[in-house]
Each structure stands twice: as C-alpha cells, then as structure tokens.
C-alpha cells in the first residue's frame, strides 16, 4: 500500500477544517498526571496520529534487572531486553511508565532524554535532583505528556546502568500534515525505521569493583545486534529513518549508507532545513532524522556505523534491503570496509544545520561564560563523593575518581566538579545543606572542588551560555546535554592552531565583535558538542520552572561528574510534595533525646 494516498486525504481534510483542527493539540492541564491514570491506559499507542481525537494514556511496566543474554553475557535489561521496549506515541499522549528496580544493591532513575517535562519537572528522572532515587525493590511511576513531536530516547540516568543496557527509543509522532518535511518521504514508520546505536563493554560496569576508568567499549550495536538489523524498502520510495546515539560515554558515531544519500530533516527532535549528505556524525545522546530514497538498483546495501574516540575502530552494520532481494548472499559475501576514509569534510554535524523556522529572539540575553577544562586536582580520597558515579560502595582500593584524577585529571566547569545534593533540589530546596551549594559566577576558588553547582535563572529571561572548552588541560571535545529545554545553538567555533583559549581572551574577542552569532536560524538542540580550544554558544528561552541538569555526556567513565543545575524557581502542588517518597538524612528533634 502506498502511504502517500493517505497524506492527500488528510491534507484535504485540513483545508476543509482550517486551523480549527489544530486546537485539539493545545496541551491540557497537567493535573491529570497526578491522578491515577493507569485505568484505561493503552499498552501500545503506536498508531497513525490523527486530528481531533483524544490523546491516549500509554502505559508501560519496566522491570529493570540483571539478565544473562543469549550470547552468555550479562546485561542490565528492561523486561529482559536491551534495548528496552520502544515507546511510540502521538503528540499529547500521556506516557505512563512504572519503573521497578530489581537490580540488587543499586539505586536508579530513568531519564526521558529530550522530553520537555512541561509542568512535570519531577518526572525528569535525575536521582537527588528531581526525585529520590528508586531503591532496590521499589518502583516509581513516571507520568508525563509527550508535548512535542520528535525522536527521543530514554535511559538510566547512571552512565553505568545505561552502558549495561538500560535504554530504548521514545518516538513522539504527530499527524503527517503537521510534519514540516512530510512531502519529502513516503513512509514514516517509526517502529520499523528507527536505529538505536549503543556500545557494549566487555564487562558489566554496574557494581564493578575494579578500576575501569580505562575500559573501552568492545562492540557497537544497532537495535541490540551487531550486523543483522534489516531495513526493508520498496524500490523508488523514500523513507524517514530515525537515528539515535544512545551511548553514555565518549563515542561519536558516523552513519552512512552505501550508494545512498541522506537528507537530514531534523536533529534532536526539531526540524531543520533539509540538508543532503553522504554521512552524519552523532554525539552521545544526539538524534537525527534522515530521508533515504530507495532509488538505486534493486539489491542490498550496508548501513555503516563507525565509532570514534572511545569507540575508535569499532563498527556495526545494518542492511538496507530492497524488497524481493535475497540478502543471504549479502551476509555470505561479508562486509568490505568501505569507510572510514577519515575525510571529515563530507561528514555533517547536527549543530551546523539551520533551523527550518526563523528564531524569534529579539530581547537581550544574559550571558554567562562557563569555562570547561580538564584539571589536575589534589583530592584526598575522603573528599570524593561517589554517588551515581561508581554505583558501588567504594571500598579500598576502589577509588576510580581519585585514580582518574592522578592519571589525567578531571573535567570541570569553572574549576568545580558536581556534587549531588543531600536531598532532591527540586522538591526540597530549603533542606539543601548550604555549604554544598556553589553558584555559577560566584565560585570560591580554593574551597570545595566538588560542590552542587547551580545557575539560578528566572522565567522570562533569555539565557546565553558560552560553553568555552579552554583546552589547557586536554585536547578533547565534550558533549553536553541539557534536560527539559532545547537550546538555540547560535555559534560554535574551534581554533585551528594548538593555542588554548582563556575566558579573558574569549571576552576580549566578543567585545571586539569577532564572535559572530546566528540569531536568525540557529538549530534547536538538547545535545551539543563543545569543540576543544573553542566554544559553543547557546540561548535558552527560560519559560518553565524546574531543576534542569546541564551535564557532560563524554567527560570520563570513572570520574567526578561534570555538570551544573539550571534552577528556575517552581512551586510544586502540595498534593505532589505530600505524596512523593522522601530521602536524605534524619536527625531526631532534640526533645526526643531528653
Ligand atoms: C584503533 O586502531 C589503531 C590502529 O590499529 C590504534 O593505534 C588505536 O589505538 C586504536 N584505538 C582504540 C581506541 O582502540
Ligand atoms: C538465498 O540465497 C541463498 C544463498 O545464496 C540460497 O541458499 C537460498 O536458497 C536463497 N533463497 C531464496 C528464497 O532464493
Ligand atoms: C594536545 O596535543 C598537542 C599536540 O597537538 C600535544 O603537544 C599536547 O601534549 C596535547 N595535550 C594533552 C593534554 O594531551
């Protein structure tokens, strides 16, 4: 069946109904999320999205547990699977996921990467920032509205759990006529045409008591398998493919398809001006939607995924199979390695694309420079906070952070490493111990190299963040992810020579007017790369409360966290604050001790 017929019919309806039909897509009250929404919930919400129909409640049960897989290797799985069950919904559906932690000795949180969490900042899934961790044997019912269409994914907040297998696709579809580039493709079948790329380590990281700071992934996977995933296509038709880099460590991946061009139509779930290319690079946590037309000779073609950095020399392959072609022969012939050519000119990066909508930024922005660099620090072992880093109870001689500090330092923002607070900042801001907090721009130099770094922001302001990768201590580029918001990437620049760049030098260049910003068509992204000896400048329209992590996704495997919290004041409903689980320390009132 040819799907384009369906588009035309829907398109006709639209012109009949005019814009009225779009009104049903105005988000509803978030109160609904606090009610018990499990009743009437739908387990599979994958369907063609239509106008004028009530959004659904899409219910999933996720059991997170250690499992021995078919190949005999252990993994941490979701319902026995890695990747976990894919979630496909229509925009404005409510996604309900009961997450049960069955991993002995571990605390968990599940992050919905790219989801805005409008009105539900307590569903963002960051232990000790937006919620108490889900302890072994207990569960947490996540419930949030899929308020924006796009390609997203979910993953355990901890790098270790994610690397061991806790991740999966999360696709928010919308009625085809609303898709800005729907005329470019015939098929948008998110269930069949999504490629989730992951990296597998030679051993489990969860609960690992060895020093694994130098451990590297041993294989790349596409939808959980190395070379066997198949994309079936009909000759002549164009397909929308969704690419997700679900790797938790420093592994950018380059994706190409033999003899087929790709037209990029969106990045991190947001539409871009279509851009045709032969290969794309995705950084950890990044997504891209591309259109591929099956216009070649009937046959089978390799979809190639090559790793870089920590995944250098690793590759995985899927097959693009034209219908009727016998792909068995293709497998027998093996995969000749056509790439990598190392020809970086032909590789396209998400943040260099242009948004398909003009940016509406007029009012001035508050500019904040974040100096990022690898620093060698003198820590006493007892100074380190290991929560959500190692996941294991640190016992001598297991001190991964201090090991990596001694070896090559730790990546910091404004010379601070991140410290998870004593209680969740979002839900109990007044119970945060004062001495652990440090404020961006007011850091005290020789005090507490690890603190809860917070950037206070206010609704209504435009925040400009200059992520400056100084490069005195490393030659690495870093990938950052912002929770809850999309960022306009207005500039990205890398110095061509080997000279580091200091904050003072950046400010001088900026004052001189040498730093050019694209304020017309900056791409909207939640995951960005900050080039070494260079910078990436983003703008955020602050319009929602919450405690939103801005975190490095590639700054070291067994190291201290590189992150800060953008904190926008938010008054949460009493009914919520009364009902959520509590965590933290307990001190009896003095009267009990008399
Ligand atoms: C990749 O292979 C090259 C050449 O064999 C080697 O020098 C390099 O160390 C390898 N990189 C990684 C990350 O294993
Ligand atoms: C496909 O090719 C394989 C190997 O070349 C052959 O054994 C098999 O019979 C073929 N299958 C069909 C349906 O033609
Ligand atoms: C960065 O690369 C340069 C050469 O390009 C080298 O001299 C320097 O030692 C490297 N720095 C680090 C921290 O590895």
25 or 154: which leads in pLDDT: 154
Q: Residue 521 is encoded by which pair of tokens?
A: 């068509």
Ligand that lies nearest to the alpha carbon of residue 498, given by its number in the listed order? 3
- Average pLDDT in the chain: 86
Q: Rounded CA gap, 535 and 516, in Å?
A: 12
Q: What are phi and psi of 372, to 5 degrees?
A: -115, 130
DSSP state of 571: P
Would 420 be classed as within a structural domain? Answer: yes
Cβ within 8 Å of residue 28, ≥6 positions away: 55, 92, 145
Q: Is the pLDDT of residue 332 over 90?
A: no
Which of 419, 485, 404, 411 has its CA nearest to residue 212?
404
Which residue has the CA at smallest separation from atom 2 of ligand 1? 313
Check: CB of residue 84 under 8 Å from CB of residue 154.
yes
**Whether residues 586 and 449 fall in one domain:** yes
**Whether residues 521 and 376 fall in one domain:** yes
Tens of pLDDT, residue by residue over 92-118, are: 999 999 999 999 989 999 999 999 999
**Whether residues 170 and 297 fall in one domain:** no
Would 497 be classed as within a structural domain? Answer: yes
Which residue has the CA at smallest separation from atom 3 of ligand 1? 313
**Whether residues 334 and 384 fall in one domain:** no
Q: Is 475 in the pocket of ligand 3 (CB under 6 A)?
A: yes
DSSP state of 134: B
Q: What is the band of 22 on the pLDDT scale with cuts at 50, 70, 90?
A: very low
Check residue 1 and give its pLDDT.
30
**Whether residues 424 and 541 fall in one domain:** yes
Instruction: Out of 309, 498, 531, give the residue to mutate to test ligand 3, the one with the largest number of ligand atoms within 8 Å of its CB.
Output: 498
Check residue 79 and give its pLDDT.
96
Tens of pLDDT, residue by residue over 355-390, are: 998 877 667 899 999 999 999 876 555 555 554 443
Check residue 228 and give its pLDDT.
85
Check residue 337 and give its pLDDT.
61
Cβ within 8 Å of residue 558, ≥6 positions away: 211, 212, 213, 389, 390, 400, 401, 403, 404
Q: Rounded CA gap, 243 and 272, in Å?
A: 15
Cβ within 8 Å of residue 256, ≥6 positions away: 262, 278, 279, 280, 303, 304, 339
**Whether residues 348 and 374 fall in one domain:** no
Count of domains forming the chain: 3
Q: Residue 204 is encoded by which pair of tokens?
A: 């489990």
Tens of pLDDT, residue by residue over 209-245, are: 777 777 899 999 999 998 889 999 999 999 999 999 9
| Final residue of a structural domain among 126, 142, 175 | 175
Would 183 be classed as within a structural domain? Answer: no
- Given the CA of residue 216, which atom of ligand 1 is nearest to it? 13
Side-chain half-sphere CA neighbours of 2 within 13 A = 8
Tens of pLDDT, residue by residue over 500-517, are: 999 999 999 999 999 999
**Whether residues 127 and 229 fall in one domain:** no
Instruction: Out of 215, 310, 312, give the residue to mutate to test ligand 1, the one with the largest number of ligand atoms within 8 Å of its CB.
Output: 312
Q: Specify the length of the chain in residues.
A: 594
Cα dist. 535→241, 374, 517, 528, 556 in Å? 30, 15, 12, 11, 19
E strand or H helix at 405: helix 400-408
**Whether residues 221 and 283 fall in one domain:** yes
Would 1 be classed as within a structural domain? Answer: no
**Whether residues 371 and 348 fall in one domain:** no
Domain of residue 105, CATH code: 2.60.40.420
Report, as an integer, the average pLDDT of 545-573: 93
Report, as an integer, the average pLDDT of 62-70: 95
Lowest-confidence segment of 42-56, 173-187, 504-518, 537-551 by average pLDDT: 42-56
Cβ within 8 Å of residue 519, ≥6 positions away: 359, 361, 490
Check residue 15 and give its pLDDT.
30
Q: Is the pLDDT of residue 418 over 80?
A: yes
Which of 27, 135, 146 has its CA nearest to residue 88?
146
Would 393 be classed as within a structural domain? Answer: yes
Ligand that lies nearest to the alpha carbon of residue 497, given by its number in the listed order? 3
Cα dist. 546→1, 150, 350 in Å? 46, 22, 27
Lowest-confidence segment of 74-83, 149-158, 436-445, 585-594 by average pLDDT: 585-594
Q: What is the band of 42 on the pLDDT scale with cuts at 50, 70, 90?
A: low
Q: Is the pLDDT of residue 30 over 70?
A: no
Would 357 be classed as within a structural domain? Answer: no
Q: Rounded CA gap, 471 and 479, in Å?
A: 14
Check: CB of residue 286 under 8 Å from CB of residue 527.
yes
Instruction: Out of 319, 321, 325, 326, give the residue to mutate to test ligand 2, the one with the largest number of ligand atoms within 8 Å of its CB.
Output: 326
| Final residue of a structural domain among 175, 209, 234 | 175
Q: What is the band of 256 on the pLDDT scale with cuts at 50, 70, 90?
A: very high
Q: Would you say the pTM of this structure is higher than 0.85?
A: yes
Q: What is the band of 404 on the pLDDT scale with cuts at 50, 70, 90?
A: low
Q: Is 497 in the pocket of ligand 3 (CB under 6 A)?
A: no
Which of 27, 250, 237, 24 has its CA nearest to residue 119?
27
Q: Is the pLDDT of residue 125 over 90?
A: yes
Lowest-confidence segment of 202-211, 239-248, 286-295, 479-488 by average pLDDT: 202-211
Ligand that lies nearest to the alpha carbon of residue 328, given by its number in the listed order? 2
233 or 5: which leads in pLDDT: 233
Check: CB of residue 190 under 8 Å from CB of residue 171.
yes
113 or 592: which leads in pLDDT: 113
Q: Rounded CA gap, 157 and 153, in Å?
A: 12
Q: Rounded CA gap, 142 and 124, in Å?
A: 9
| Final residue of a structural domain among 147, 175, 203 | 175
**Whether residues 326 and 411 fall in one domain:** no
**Whether residues 447 and 542 fall in one domain:** yes
Would 338 be classed as within a structural domain? Answer: yes
**How wide is the angle at C-alpha 145 spanned by C-alphas 125 and 187, nearest 5°?**
110
Q: Rounded CA gap, 222 and 243, in Å?
A: 10
Side-chain half-sphere CA neighbours of 235 within 13 A = 9
Check residue 347 and give its pLDDT.
93
Q: Exposed, middle or buried, 242 (CB in 10 Å: 0-12/13-18/19+)?
A: buried
Would 92 be classed as within a structural domain? Answer: yes
Tens of pLDDT, residue by residue over 156-189, are: 999 999 999 999 999 999 999 999 999 999 999 9
Which domain, by its residues, includes 31? Answer: 12-175
Report, as an integer, the average pLDDT of 199-209: 89
Q: Residue 368 is encoded by which pair of tokens?
A: 């904040």
Check residue 362 and give its pLDDT.
65
Q: What is the band of 557 on the pLDDT scale with cuts at 50, 70, 90?
A: confident
Lowest-confidence segment of 65-74, 170-179, 475-484 by average pLDDT: 65-74
**Whether residues 293 and 429 fall in one domain:** no
């Amino acid at each position: 069946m040819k799907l384009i017929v369906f588009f035309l019919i829907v398109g006709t309806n639209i012109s009949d109904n005019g814009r009225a039909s779009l009104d049903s897509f105005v988000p509803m009250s978030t109160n609904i999320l606090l009610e018990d929404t499990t009743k009437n919930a739908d387990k599979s919400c994958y369907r063609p999205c239509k106008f004028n129909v009530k959004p659904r409640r899409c219910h999933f049960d996720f059991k997170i547990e250690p499992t021995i897989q078919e190949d005999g290797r252990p993994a941490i799985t979701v319902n026995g699977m890695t990747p976990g069950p894919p979630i496909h919904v229509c925009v404005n559906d409510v996604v309900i996921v009961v997450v049960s932690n069955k991993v002995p000795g571990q605390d968990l949180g599940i992050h919905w990467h790219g989801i805005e969490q409008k009105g539900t900042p307590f569903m963002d899934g960051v232990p000790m920032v937006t919620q108490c961790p889900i302890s072994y044997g207990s569960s947490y019912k996540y419930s949030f509205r899929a308020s924006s269409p796009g390609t997203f994914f979910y993953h355990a907040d901890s790098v270790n759990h994610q690397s061991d297998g806790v991740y999966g696709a999360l696709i928010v579809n919308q009625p085809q006529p609303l898709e800005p580039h729907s005329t470019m493709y015939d098929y948008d079948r998110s269930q069949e045409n999504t490629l989730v790329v992951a990296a597998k380590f030679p051993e489990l990281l969860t609960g690992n008591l060895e020093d694994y700071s130098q451990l590297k992934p041993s294989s790349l996977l596409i939808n959980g398998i190395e070379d066997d995933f198949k994309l079936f296509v009909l000759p002549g038709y164009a397909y929308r493919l969704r690419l997700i880099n679900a790797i938790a460590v420093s592994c950018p991946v380059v994706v190409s398809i033999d003899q087929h061009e790709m037209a990029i139509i969106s990045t991190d779930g947001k539409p871009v001006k279509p851009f045709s290319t032969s290969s794309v690079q995705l950084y950890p946590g990044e997504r891209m939607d591309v259109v591929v037309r099956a216009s070649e000779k009937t046959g089978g073609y390799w979809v190639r995924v090559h790793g870089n950095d920590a995944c250098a020399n690793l590759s995985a392959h899927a097959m693009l199979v034209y219908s009727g072609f016998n792909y068995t022969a293709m497998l027998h012939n093996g995969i000749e390695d056509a790439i990598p050519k190392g020809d970086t000119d032909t590789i396209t990066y998400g943040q260099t694309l242009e948004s398909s909508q003009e940016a509406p930024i007029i009012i001035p922005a508050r500019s904040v420079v974040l100096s990022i660099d690898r620093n060698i620090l003198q820590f006493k072992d007892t100074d380190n906070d290991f929560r959500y880093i190692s996941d294991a109870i640190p016992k001598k001689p297991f001190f991964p952070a201090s090991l990596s500090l001694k070896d090559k330092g730790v990546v910091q923002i404004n010379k601070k490493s991140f410290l998870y607070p004593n209680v969740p900042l979002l839900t109990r801001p007044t119970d945060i111990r004062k001495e652990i907090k440090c404020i961006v721009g007011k850091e005290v130099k020789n005090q507490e190299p690890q603190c809860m770094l917070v950037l206070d922001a206010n609704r209504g302001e435009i925040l400009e963040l200059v992520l400056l990768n100084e490069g005195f201590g490393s030659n690495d580029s870093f990938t950052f992810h912002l929770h809850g918001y999309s960022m306009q990437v207005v500039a990205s620049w890398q110095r061509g020579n080997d000279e580091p760049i200091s904050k003072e030098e950046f400010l001088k260049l900026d004052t001189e007017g040498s730093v050019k910003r694209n304020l017309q068509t900056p791409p909207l992204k939640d995951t960005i790369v900050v080039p070494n000896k260079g910078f990436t400048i983003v703008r955020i329209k602050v319009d929602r409360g919450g405690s939103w992590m801005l975190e490095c996704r590639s700054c070291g495997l067994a190291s201290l966290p590189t992150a800060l919290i953008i904190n926008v004041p938010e008054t949460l409903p009493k009914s919520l604050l009364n009902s959520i689980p509590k965590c933290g320390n307990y001190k009896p009132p003095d009267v009990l001790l008399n």
